[in-house]
Structure 1
Amino acid sequence: MTCVQLMKAKPFLTWQKARDSCISMNADLLSVNDKEENGKLNPLVRAHIRSRDLLQWWIGIREVGHSWLWLDNDEKYAKIPEWAAGSGRFQSTPDNKCGLFTFKGTLEEAECEQEKPYICEKFNKDIPEPIDYQDSYENDKTQDGSSVSADTEGPKCDLPWEKLHRTCVQFMIAKPFSTWQKARDSCISMNADLLSVNGNEENGKLNPLVRAHIRSRDLLQWWIGIREVGHSWLWLDNDEKYAKIPEWAAGSGRFQSKPGKCGLFTFKGTLEEAECEQEKPYICEQFKERSLGETCYEVSQCLATQNVQCTGTGTKTCNCQSGYYTITDSNRCLKRSLGETCNEVSQCSATQNVQCTGTGTKTCNCQSGYYTITDINRCLKRSLGETCDEVSQCSATQNVQCTGTGTKTCNCQSGYYTITDINRCQKRSLGETCDEVSQCSATQNVQCTGTGTKTCNCQSGYYTITDSNHCLRIRETHK
C-alpha cells in the first residue's frame, strides 16, 4: 500500500524535473509493482482526466543500459513488465527514453525531455499514524477522493486541490516544511498564493478542512497569507489591515502586531503569530478566473480580458475600467451603443453630441438637437432631405422645417428653394432655378416658368434688371 499524488498543474515537467518535484515533497515517481497495483492505479488515473493532455503520466521507470529499471528496485525488463501486456509502444531503446503510464493501464516510452503530468508516490516509512483531530470534519468525499464542501457555490476543484467556499486550496504537508516566504514562493510556482481568509464564514469552512489533514502534532499550525507590515497585519489579497486580530479570529491570544512576524492558522480555527523563518506546513489558494464583481488579487485573475481592472478599497474585485459598462451575463466590459443601457456618458461609444440619461434605466442617447443614426452609432445634424424627428436636428438653421407624412425629413419652408450643395433654404434671384413663384426673391411682376428647368423670370412686358433683381415695365416708343 502507498499514497500517491497526481500532479497535473501546468506547466508540465520533464521526467527528471518531475522526479525532483516528487522528491521535494518527500516522495518519488510512482513505481508500479505488479498487476494488482496496476489494476487499482488505472481507474484512479481515469478519474483525473479532464483534458487530452492528461492521458499519459510520467512514472518511476526509465531506460538504463538497454533495459527498463524501476526506481524502487533493481528489477530489469528487456521489453515490458508482464502486467503491462499490450503496451505496443514500450521497447528498450538506447536513446534516453522514460516510461509513461496511460489511461489504458499500459506503458509507453517517450523522450525524457517531453513535458507531461506525473504521479508521485509517498515514501511509506514517512506516513505517520493519524491522530484524533477529525471530530468536526464535515466535508463529503467524491468517488475519486476529491473534497466537495456542502456549499454549492464557487469553482470545481481538481485533485489535489480541495474546495473551500469560493476558491480551491491545497494543504502542503510534505517535509521538509517551509518558512513563510518559501511557502509563498512554492504556492506562486503553482499559480497560487498563500491562503487569505476573507471572513467568519470562510474561517468556519476552513477549520474542519484543516482538522481533516492533521496526521501528526506538527500539522496543528499552518502558514497562511497574512503577515505583519508596519505594525499592522495585512492580508496578501487586499489592503485591509488589523492592529491586532480580525474579528472572526477572536480568541487568538497569541496574535499581536510585532515586527517580523507572520500569521499561522491553527486547528482551533484561530490565528497565531510566529517568526517568519520558522518552518511550517502551509495552505495554498489557487488563482481562479474571477467574474466581474468577484474578489481578486491581481487583474490577471479576472475572466474578462479587456478593459478590466482589479481594484477596490479593502477587498479588491474584478471590475470594469472607467468608461466601460459591466455586462454581467457575458462577463465583459464594453462601450455602449446608442439605445443601450449605461451608467455614465463616458461608457457610450458615440463620442460627440451624446448623453446618458433616462427615467429609471439610463441609456446612451443623442443630445437634444441631434439625430440618432443607429447604423453608424452617431449623433448628427441632418441635411436637407434626410430624416429627422424635430426641426432642431436639421443642420440648415434658417427657413427650414421637419415635416412629412409618415417619415419626416428636413425640408425648406414654403416659399424657399432647396440648395442641396450648400444645404440652405433661400429665395431665388432672377435667372435662378425655382420650383414655384413664391421662391423668387423679386416680389412683383415675376414668374417661375421654363421648359424643363424652371427659373425666376420677369412676366411678359417687364424688363429684367439684374443688379437690383427687379422686373420693370417696358415703355412703348411713340411715333
Structure 2
Amino acid sequence: MVREYHYVNSPKTWAGAQTFCREVYTDLATVESKEENIRLLLETQEPGKLAWIGLYDDTKSWMWTMGDGKFDRENSFFRWERNEPNNIGGKQSCVVMNWVGFWRDEICETDRPFVCFDEQGPSKYILVDTFMTWDVARNYCLSKYTDLVTVRNLTENEKIHPMLARNVWIGLRRNFWTNWSDESLATFKNWYESQPDNSGSTPASCAAVDTTTGTWWDVHCDTELEFICEKLIPLRRRFKLRLQSETDLNDPVIQQQILEQLHDKLETDGLSDFKLRWNQNEGQTFHKEPKKKTHG
C-alpha cells in the first residue's frame, strides 16, 4: 500500500480529526520514513502552523515485567500518589514505590534501589539497596532472582512498603509514543529538538507536524488544529516473465492457468490482498524472443 496524504484546513481536536479521517479517507496520517515526512510536508497549505498527525502517546499503556504484563488502569490494582502518574518533562515511564506504599512515575535513568521478586526463595521480596537505573535493576533481578517485583493487590503492596526507607523501583513501566492511529508501530520519529516535553498542566500526548519545518511537537489532544489524513492506495507493480513452452502462451485458457499458479505461489510465500492481471503490448501478452545470432 502507498500512503496518499490529504490536508484538511478545518480545525478539530485530535479525536475529532481521527473520526473525520476514518470517515472520509483511511485514517489520520502515519509517517514511517523521512521520505514520507517530506511528502507529508508537501501537502501542507500554509507555513507556520501545527497540524495533527496520527501519532499519540498512550499514557495508560503500563505493563508489568512478569506474567502476562497486563495493567488495566480501570480494573487493575494500583496505588498512585495524588496527581500521579504525570510524566513531567515527557520523560517519566518507570515506576517507584515510596516508603508508605504509594507509586509515582520517574525517569528510568534515575539511580534507585529496587525490589526483586524471588519465586523460589523463602522470602519472595528482596530489597536491593544498591542504586541502579530501572533497566540495570531489572537485569540484576533477572540474573539473581525472578524479576523486578510485580504488585497485584493491596496485600502484596502492604508486604513490600514496610521494607523501604526511600523510593525504590518496581516492575511497572510503559513505552513512549509507540502507536499510530492506524495501529502501525511507531519506528520513525521526527521530533523538534526539545520535544516531546509534555509541558502544561495536562498530558500533551498527541503529535502535530510543524507545517514549515516538518518537525513534530507534542500537543494537548483537546487543542483544535488543522490536520492531515492518509488514504491507502494499493501498490501496483509490473513483473516480466520469461517462459519456455511448446503451448500457445497467448491462449486465454493457458494464461488463466498461469495466473492461478502464480497466485497460489504468492499466497504460499505469505503475500495477501493482491490481484494479478496480464498487460498487453501490441495486442499480445507474450512475445517470442528473437533468436540470438551465432558466430561461427
User: Is this a same-fold pair by TM over 0.5?
Assistant: no
**More relative contact order in 1 or in 2 (CA 8 Å, sep 6+)?**
2
- The structure in which a higher percent of residues are strand is 1
User: Which has the larger Rg?
Assistant: 1
- Could you tell me the TM-score, scaled by structure 1's length? 0.22
- The structure in which a higher percent of residues are helix is 2
- Could you tell me the TM-score, scaled by structure 2's length? 0.35
